[in-house]
Amino acid sequence: MFGDPRFGLPPLLQGAAVLRMDVVEKDGHFKVTAELPGLVREDIRIELAADMLVISGEKRQDRDETERSRKINEGAYGSFMRTLELPAGIRPEDIEASMDKGVLMVRLPKTVLAARETSRIEIKAP
């Protein structure tokens, strides 16, 4: 009928609500790639909250056609949000994001944490 009854969304909105991503770890950084056709960078928000990368936005797709005496107007709207847990040490000022032809790329350099020296802790008598 109108999409999956478990979600109560029409078929066009079901696709808009899902953000599929590829995450690759190599050469001292993480690379997150997401395909977002039809969106521009102003539609997307990227945040680093604690050790969580949050990518969210809103998709709006309109179709307006006039065919002889009929007018067809379709619109698909939907917001999306995706979170990824990151290892400690990612600094917001080092994150780089770019978008080209509907493909979002986020580069998260890993921070080298200073090695701690081994210290012995003395056990005191009561």
58/105 Cα distance (integer angstroms): 17
Mean pLDDT of 72-80: 71
pLDDT at 59: 75
Mean pLDDT over each residue of the chain, to the nearest integer: 75
What are the structural domains of the chain? 11-109 (2.60.40.790)
36/102 Cα distance (integer angstroms): 5
Mean pLDDT of 13-21: 60
Task: Give the tens place of pLDDT for each residue, 24-44.
Answer: 988 889 999 999 888 888 889
| Whether 56 contacts 80, CB under 8 Å | yes
Q: Dihedrals φ, ψ of 33, to 5°?
A: -125, 135
1/5 Cα distance (integer angstroms): 8
Task: Locate 84 and state its tokens.
Answer: 């990824």
